[in-house]
Structure 1
Amino acid sequence: MPINFNFDSSGRPPQSLAARIVGGVCAVIAFGVALMFSAVVFVGLVLAALAFWGYFWWKTRALRRAMQEQMRAQGFDPPPGEPPRNAPTDADIIEGEAVRVDEERKRIE
């Protein structure tokens, strides 16, 4: 009994060299189209994200301005090289440890 090395069980005859070349060219073209489409989608998503960020930035400009004015009024925005008026000093920092011991108290009733 002869050994059959043809693993194609579809029963079709093998493709010619021209058919393989045309198939390869079609595959390369399909890959290129998919790559261009994905690039267009990626650019569209980036533009949408930038548009959203710009809209958010534009809508919050008054809030940011008001917060800066409030910080200046409270002394947290000093001239360069000068510490803020309300900045904590070394005297405001208390270092140490605290240990809490729970003891059961006996109630006399």
Structure 2
Amino acid sequence: MLFIQKQLPAFLMPMYLGTIVRVHCNSIRQWINDYLAYGLDSLLQINYGTNTSIPEQQAGSIMESFTTQPPRSISEAALRAKALTGVERSPTRLRTFIKRHQFRFFKTGHIPAKVNTTQ
């Protein structure tokens, strides 16, 4: 059995087109495959920036937990967020997540050592 492979003309090869428009040949291949599978509308869609992280998807439950019982430190907040979502985040990433959802951290003072408790 002999298989004959259809080949594109040389001027339609992704490597040749990529050098003309200064785009990587893998991008050209992806665009051709999308066009053949889904048509022109698939090339006109902009899907950049549509992905959301797991903490963003479950932000309601995390913020509800933090509202009912505020965490005392960012490490406690990270542990509770990991327990709720199953995904571990660094303290700095969780701090920006919390600030993005309009929560603030309060600086607490220390209790003085020499307090006059008799009054």
TM-score, with structure 2 as normaliser: 0.28
Q: Which fold has the larger relative contact order, with Cα–Cα distance below 8 Å and residues 6 or more apart in sequence?
A: 2
Q: Which protein shows a greater Rg?
A: 1
TM-score, with structure 1 as normaliser: 0.30
